[in-house]
Amino acid sequence: MIIGYARVSSTSQSLDIQHEALAAAGAEKVFSEKVSGRSTTDREQLALAMSFAREGDTLIVTRLDRLARSVGDLHRIIEVLTQKGVGFKCLNQPGVDTDTSTGRLMLAMLAAVASFEADIRHERQMEGVRKAQAAGKYRGRPASIDPSKIKELKAGGMGAAAIAKAMGIGRASVYRALAA
């Protein structure tokens, strides 16, 4: 059986193009989700696709970055599929096919390049943040909890639950602020 997996990063993006390509490639069942690919955690549909796949099946994706954005995640996914006897193919990178040694080599090289690109993008983003901070244009997220206010309310006789309700925060946050 050919199993498709489609993913986009945000709810405003459409899965239609990936669904069409997977169907045209013969996918009999498609798992899809709208979630970040930065990590494989919290990717429920990917987990379902991998558990659904049986020996002799092939998992297909349109592009490698739809499956994983890091070399480590990609290797873990491929290892699980390989142990189950499930093949993997990437439609837009036809050389990526785990059924051949050349395909496995190509997969490793493309994964390394994708990981490198993600790292470079993150470095540029952090560089921009540092530059904006130096110019006084970026201060990060404001602190949502004022520990001194919490301690003041506690000293005034309020309990943790009442403080949490008054400040719109969780009770655990109150306890952490009091312990600090």
Sorted by where each begins, the domain ranges of the chain are 2-118, 147-179
pLDDT of residue 54: 96
21 pLDDT more than 90: yes
**pTM to 2 decimals?**
0.61
Q: How much of the chain exceeds pLDDT 90, in percent? A: 40
Please report which confidence band the pLDDT of residue 48 belongs to, taking 50, 70 and 90 as the band edges.
very high
2-118 maps to CATH 1.20.1250.20: no
Please report which confidence band the pLDDT of residue 36 belongs to, taking 50, 70 and 90 as the band edges.
confident
From 79, 16, 5, select the one nearest 45 (Cα to Cα): 5
Structure tokens at 93: 């990178």
Instruction: List, as one string, the DSSP characters of 123-178.
Output: HHHHHHHHHHHHTTS---SPPS--HHHHHHHHHTT--HHHHHHHHT--HHHHHHHH
Q: How much of the chain exceeds pLDDT 70, in percent? A: 97
Please report which confidence band the pLDDT of residue 11 belongs to, taking 50, 70 and 90 as the band edges.
confident
Could you report the per-residue pLDDT of 70-124, keeping only the tens digit for each?
Answer: 777 888 898 899 999 999 988 987 777 777 788 778 877 877 777 788 788 889 9
Structure tokens at 126: 């952090």
Integer angstrom CA distances of residue 173 from 35, 148, 150:
28, 13, 10
Average pLDDT value for the chain: 87
pLDDT of residue 145: 84
142 pLDDT more than 70: no
What does the pLDDT average to over 28-36? Answer: 92
**Which residues form the catalytic set?**
9
What does the pLDDT average to over 113-140? Answer: 85
27 pLDDT more than 90: yes
What does the pLDDT average to over 28-37? Answer: 90
